[in-house]
Amino acid sequence: MTFSQRHFLGIEGLSRDELLFVLNTAESFREISEREVKKVPTLRGKTIINLFYESSTRTRSSFEIAAKRLSADAINISASTSSVNKGETLMDTARNLCAMRPAALVLRHPASGAPHLLARLNQCPVINAGDGTHEHPTQALLDVMTIREHLGDIYGKTVAIVGDILHSRVARSNILALTTLGAQVRLIGPPTLLPPEFSRWGVERHTDLRAGLAGVDAIMMLRLQRERQTRNFFPSLDEYARRFCLTVEALKEAKPNVIILHPGPMNRGVEIDSRVADGPYSVILEQVTNGVAVRMAVLYLLTTQERLATQDQSVAHGQAVGQEGSDVQAEPSAWDEHTVPKRAVGQ
């Protein structure tokens, strides 16, 4: 199978086979992070631009490390230090950056749909690193990858997502990925943070933490998105923590081999107890490790897809010239002798 997406904007619209293809590619890249020399020449000579309009630690560092482990040059740009402060629009910023011919543009933006806008109006591949409350596709992939490593096949597993579902792009992408792969998803939180429209996606909604955790295989905790909340959705943080903080006692309702995930950053004592976050069931740091592999896979698939598209255009142009009656024959593509290997880590 080949990956046919020109951009990576969200989980929505991806088929089960495409999700599994990206996950399997990421698993082949994971081994690179265990080597003494953590680098392969796969994207040597290419440039990846990380354009972040919001604060980030894990996602931005992960994309930068992923690019460098593939031997690409990584350029990091924050809105706070860019021409945005001088009044430049997102579109003008993106057009100028794409004019420098990067292999891909990674965008995080507070406005939902911003990556889709850039993808429609720019030539270079765009990767969504989180847009408003819409989606965070690479986070969902690393979460699913971590679940698969511990529980095997996703199909038939029950995953609980707990917390601020309303404002969480992580929740939306995970719901799409997990249900596409056949998992049962339970959403748990205060009624004010559980959008009723999610019921149309075939998920369960629970307002009682312990009842929602009964018999689940995996628990994904979400932080409260205070920066996105425009009004009070619960009486106080103490009240929220009393009802929805994942404690050792609440964890007993889940299956004995349950795993605990959290996309970070964590608010200890609010949505998760430190004894749970640092306990034997936690796979939170494994998520971070898998994040590098997932982003290596996405960068690899998008940039090699761009290369193959160039190859096809070159071949088509040569054939067109030959069909016009000229004695000139189409030259072989520059990539004919350097096709993409079946396993990228072998490069």
Q: Which domains does the chain have, with CATH numbers?
A: 16-135+290-316 (3.40.50.1370), 137-287 (3.40.50.1370)
What DSSP string runs through 212-266?
HHTT-SEEEE----TTT--S-SSS-HHHHHHHH-B-HHHHTTS-TT-EEE--S--
The pLDDT tens digits of the residues spanning 91-117 come to 999 999 999 999 999 999 999 999 999
Is the pLDDT at 321 greater than 50, yes or no? no
Q: What's the whole-number average pLDDT of the chain?
A: 88
Q: Which residues pair with 118 in a beta bridge?
A: none
Higher-confidence residue of 6 and 229: namely 6
**What pLDDT is attached to residue 313?**
46
Helix axes 58-69, 284-323, angle to 10 degrees: 50
Average pLDDT over residues 322-328: 41
Least confident of 22-36, 202-216, 217-231, 272-286: 217-231
**What pLDDT is attached to residue 123?**
85
Q: What confidence category does residue 35 fall into, taking pLDDT thresholds of 50, 70 and 90?
A: very high
Q: Which residues pair with 259 in a beta bridge?
A: 218
Q: Which residues pair with 127 in a beta bridge?
A: 8, 106
Higher-confidence residue of 161 and 343: namely 161
Instruction: Look at strands 158-162 and 104-109 and give their pairing.
Output: unpaired
Q: In what order do the strands lie in the sheet with 104-109?
A: 73-78, 47-52, 104-109, 126-131
Q: pTM of the full predicted structure?
A: 0.87
**What pLDDT is attached to residue 157?**
98
Average pLDDT over residues 272-300: 98
Looking at this protein, which amino acid is placed at residue 65? I
Rounded to whole angstroms, the Cα distance separating 132 from 75 reads 22
Least confident of 48-57, 237-246, 319-328: 319-328
Contacts of 171 (CB under 8 A, 6+ apart): 161, 163, 165, 187, 222
> 162, 188 in Cβ contact below 8 A?
yes
Helix axes 16-30, 137-151, angle to 10 degrees: 70
**What pLDDT is attached to residue 4?**
86
Rounded to whole angstroms, the Cα distance separating 229 from 234 reads 11
Rounded to whole angstroms, the Cα distance separating 62 from 8 reads 16
Which range, 116-125, 247-256, 298-307, has the best average confidence (pLDDT)? 247-256
For the record, the structure tokens of 80 come out as 């706070």
Q: What is the dihedral of CA 246, 247, 248, 254, to 10 degrees?
A: -30
**What pLDDT is attached to residue 344?**
46
Is the pLDDT at 334 greater than 90, yes or no? no
**What pLDDT is attached to residue 235?**
78
**What pLDDT is attached to residue 228?**
63
**What pLDDT is attached to residue 232?**
76
* Closest listed residue to residue 212, CA positions, set 188, 184, 242: 188
Is the pLDDT at 330 greater than 80, yes or no? no
Q: Which residues are catalytic?
A: 58-59, 86, 108, 136
